[in-house]
Structure 1
Amino acid sequence: MIDGKDSGSTDGGALSNLRVLDLTQVLAGPYCTMLLADLGADVVKIERPGGDLIRSNPPFVDDADEEAYGGYFQSVNRGKRSIELDFNEEADREDFLSLVEEADIVVENYRSGTMEKYDLGYETLREYNPQLIYSSIRGFGDPRTGETERQGQPSFDLIAQALGGVMEITGQEDGPPTKVGPGIGDLFTATLNCIGILAAVNHREQTGEGQYVDTGMYDAMISMTERAIYQQSYTGEPPTRRGNSHPTLFPYNAFETADGYAVVAAFGTNHWTEVCAAMDRQDLADEYPTAADRLEHREYLRDQIADWALERTTDELVDALEGRVPVAPVQNTEEIFDDPHVHARDMLVPVEQPGSGEDVEIAGSPIKMTETPPEPRGRAPLLDEHREEVLGEKAETAADD
């Protein structure tokens, strides 16, 4: 519970006037619709028989047999309502189409062509609701916005990071290509898709027109690796892994300390001067006064900073530079949970974990607004928890008409 609200609360929020039919599962699609739910949209999660594939994924608080779902599902499906529909059944397709008639947005992340198999593709749905915004998240986009031979192939975060150049530029210089820890192939794509949906909503407000919004994971990763793209164009050489360093800025790196790691981003001359003062190395400030000088001699200077860092704990290094130089410890999640800043910013939010008798904490919304602040609006739904509520609303509306 959050302030007495259970799953699917739609009180307030900048998007409280919008109804979203969420046909997505796993990560990319649910993250996109979670953003909309946090902003106040009424998100109805329409689940296939048996529910979202990740309902049973761990971790659990205690007993997987007693708890309704694990942390994966909880995190990206909070604040939604759930109904279970089987599109192989005519009655369920009719129920879905009845909801489409009054929905604002439909979001799905099936393979290209899946909805068309049930005669529920965009062209069909817009006959029922010409103002509908239909949004898809796919590995390789939709043929409607640019057809390629990859469409229809399955894709996951790892595939998108590999194809989009992320893995090639991530990892240690002498190590293998490495995926970024969080599923950015899903999460960044989902965020871009959310932006596209909101842009389409604004367009509809001006024109009355609905439209199709399409975001591909491969496309999104090319956008995210923007630096590598322009480097290839400008230099004619494909950039590769540089560990924690930066190709054109120095110092900008992680340094091992006596008890952990800290990062220092001191490529500005004012910051470099402060680092040299903290190290008691005025000679380095005098000998390497410009950014070009420091970049040319980066290996030698990195060694000097590294030697200094190893003689100090992480706290000592941060204390020596904080407030004058961009510096931070490399934190694990336990340290994040202990950080007062995180709590002051409401970035850890308690929600009920059904079947456990306990609350758990999930990541809050980083979008802050003064009048309509986004927030997780309750726990994730039980499977089909809101069938009577959602379909009953439709029946009530029809009776009123």
Structure 2
Amino acid sequence: MQQPRDTALAGIKVLDLSRVLAGPWCTQILADLGADVVKIERPGSGDDTRHWGPPFLQTADGAATSQASYFTACNRNKRSVTLDMSRPEGQALLRRIAAEVDVVVENFKVGGLARYGLDYDSLKAANPRLIYCSVTGFGQSGPYAERAGYDLMVQALSGLMSVTGHADGEPGGGPLRVGVAVIDIFTGLYASNAILAALHARAHTGEGQYIDTALLDVGMAVLANQAAGFLATGDSPMRAGNSHPSLAPYQNFATRDGQVLLAIGNDGQFSRFCGVIDRPEWALDERFATNTARVHHRSALLALMQPVLRERSSAEWIALLHDKAVPCGPINTIAQAFDDPQVRARGLRVELPRDAGDGIAQIDTVASPLRLSRTPIRYHGAPPALGQHTDEVLREWGLSEREIETLRASGCV
């Protein structure tokens, strides 16, 4: 697979020893930016997410496969190599390659790679320019360091679930996880940012460094305004459904035929909203004249608003309020979101051809949100089949055909 030359990370080589979501999300970002990412997978089984289905991929003629679509979310633009790192010959080969790459990303348990001689201290001796990023549940230090960490556990432990969902006294009340594994995804984002910063620092110092990335650290960081509120007051914020703790009205409302989302973020927008619905006196009412007042009198405001919003259809409200610069929009299904004209105009569905001999001719993925004018994202490879590039990469690493065949015969690749 030919790597693009006009990308931001052209020439950067990444050895990806990670699996599941946080690490692969990080390395997919690097791959999208042009790095040559080689993903190491277990022979015969590969990344766990290859089997996390349903749903599963389909062949060109519509037949089901055993390849889960989950894997495709975070592994495009990479090359897959199957290699058994539990074998001495596999370890030796990885150490040989790590001496020549720019970045290693791994998400094994703390100390898990030291027994293979694949930890940072072992590898930096041969490659002092190496940037080595570890992704764990709880970091390299502290009483939980040895524990395995998962997105759901961290959503609960960090307090994120305590502010997600309806209040206990409401129908369906109770803590909820976010609908996607946001801690894993944010961890991948933070890890890729740290790697880019380390590459920049290396350009000035000539030296690599170690990056300790933890799901728990990220989970606490992305509490954002909710954490800031607690630190300022000592009070733990609680679940409030779809309403915003600091803004009002900023939530979903029932309409004549469904639901709409109102996101009024300032007093000017609220005043325009009141004019549209022919209730200008609300904007002058001391209970509602300012955002802070509206938050304090949220229940009274909602009691007035809800009957009015039910008078028109969702489409009518969206058209009417959009024309008056009042943020209002639909609550889409994912299918509706992909069919949205703005989503289609931005090209957010990317169709990637794949020729891996398994009958899957194309895999669709979601476009990278990174839009660089001079060094754009290039989509040069669909999420690979297991071991699709093993021979190709091993040859690039300098192995002869006889050496490759010996490794294959032994089950190492």
- TM-score for the superposition, normalised by structure 2: 0.89
Go from structure 1 to structure 2 and tell me whether the alpha carbon gap of 1:24 and 1:65 turns closer, same or farther (over 3 Å shift): farther
Matches within 5 A, 1:321-360: 321-323=321-323, 324-352=325-353, 355-360=358-363
How many residues align? The count is 387
- Alpha carbons 1:37, 1:377 under 8 Å: kept: no
With 345-354 and 175-184 compared, the bigger mean Cα shift is at 345-354
- Alpha carbons 2:253, 2:306 under 8 Å: kept: yes
With 333-342 and 99-108 compared, the bigger mean Cα shift is at 333-342
- Alpha carbons 1:161, 1:179 under 8 Å: kept: yes
Give the counterpart of 2:231 among 221, 227, 233: 233
Go from structure 1 to structure 2 and tell me whether the alpha carbon gap of 1:309 and 1:213 turns closer, same or farther (over 3 Å shift): same
Cα distance in structure 2, aligned partners of 1:270 and 1:106: 50
Matches within 5 A, 1:112-191: 112-142=110-140, 147-174=141-168, 175-191=173-189
Question: Is the aligned partner of 1:39 residue 2:39?
Answer: no
Deviations 1:238-278 (A, max 9, x none): 11111111122111111122333221121311101111112
Q: Cα offset for 1:131? A: 0.4
Cα distance in structure 2, aligned partners of 1:321 and 1:181: 28
With 25-34 and 295-304 compared, the bigger mean Cα shift is at 295-304
With 351-360 and 52-61 compared, the bigger mean Cα shift is at 351-360
Letter in 1 for 2:160: V
| SS of equivalent to 2:51 | coil
Letter in 2 for 1:222: M
Deviations 1:340-362 (A, max 9, x none): 21122121101236634543421
- Alpha carbons 1:274, 1:325 under 8 Å: kept: yes
Residue 69 of structure 1 is matched in structure 2 by: 67
Letter in 2 for 1:152: E
With 26-35 and 47-56 compared, the bigger mean Cα shift is at 47-56
- Alpha carbons 1:82, 1:386 under 8 Å: kept: yes
Question: Is the aligned partner of 1:308 residue 2:302?
Answer: no
Deviations 1:191-222 (A, max 9, x none): 00000000000000010010001110011011
Go from structure 1 to structure 2 and tell me whether the alpha carbon gap of 1:357 and 1:197 turns closer, same or farther (over 3 Å shift): closer
- Alpha carbons 1:68, 1:382 under 8 Å: kept: no
Go from structure 1 to structure 2 and tell me whether the alpha carbon gap of 1:396 and 1:62 turns closer, same or farther (over 3 Å shift): closer
Q: Cα offset for 1:62? A: 3.6
Identity %: 37
| SS of equivalent to 2:90 | helix
- TM-score for the superposition, normalised by structure 1: 0.92
Cα distance in structure 2, aligned partners of 1:250 and 1:392: 61
| SS of equivalent to 1:55 | helix
- Alpha carbons 1:8, 1:42 under 8 Å: kept: no
Residue 4 of structure 1 is matched in structure 2 by: none
Go from structure 1 to structure 2 and tell me whether the alpha carbon gap of 1:21 and 1:333 turns closer, same or farther (over 3 Å shift): same
Go from structure 1 to structure 2 and tell me whether the alpha carbon gap of 1:68 and 1:125 turns closer, same or farther (over 3 Å shift): farther
Give the counterpart of 1:195 among 193, 196, 217: 193
Two-structure CA RMSD over aligned residues (Å)? 2.0
Matches within 5 A, 1:1-400: 9-49=3-43, 50-58=45-53, 59-62=55-58, 67=65, 69-142=67-140, 147-174=141-168, 175-287=173-285, 288-323=288-323, 324-352=325-353, 355-395=358-398
- Alpha carbons 2:363, 2:382 under 8 Å: kept: no
Cα distance in structure 2, aligned partners of 1:338 and 1:370: 26
| SS of equivalent to 1:160 | helix
- Give the structure, 1 or 2, with the largest relative contact order (CA under 8 Å, sep 6 or more): 1
| SS of equivalent to 2:196 | helix
Cα distance in structure 2, aligned partners of 1:292 and 1:382: 54
Cα distance in structure 2, aligned partners of 1:129 and 1:228: 42
Q: Cα offset for 1:73? A: 0.8
- Alpha carbons 2:57, 2:66 under 8 Å: kept: no
